[in-house]
Amino acid sequence: KSEKTIIQDRTMYEGVYVFMQNNRAMGHLTERDFETYMELFEQMMTVVRQPDLMIYQKASVPHLVGNIQKRGREYEQSIKLEYLENLNQRYDDFIYNRYKGRVMTIQKDELDFLHQPKDLAKIIDRIDNNLFGLFANSEFQIPNSEEPIIRNS
């Protein structure tokens, strides 16, 4: 209900459609826990507003592995490739098949917005265009010539 702009790193949708579904499929979540999680999700969705724009940072598994290695966090070093592959498949399914809001996809493998100011500027320009540009509220968006927008709806 806040009137302020809110930027959120992860959404409740990801918790349900990506991480929870992945853990359930891999046998790490009981049916009882799944049902409890879904009940809580449904209750939360009655009071939470859908984001104005979902930004999907799509990365390949090798890119994800590289990030994990760069961070060097002990607890991340044992993450299996299968887990990362499953997450990527579930993210794609969520973004392209389940989520009905506006989405802007960023191909992470091709950008280094942490170290390259030009890459960050491109992303900021695309976000501004999606939220405030001439076609911001239309059914479609004119793609950036350097990187197509996968879907805006």
Q: Which residues are catalytic?
A: 9
Torsion of CA 65, 116, 152, 148, to 10 degrees: -90
CA–CA separation, 37 and 20 (whole Å): 8
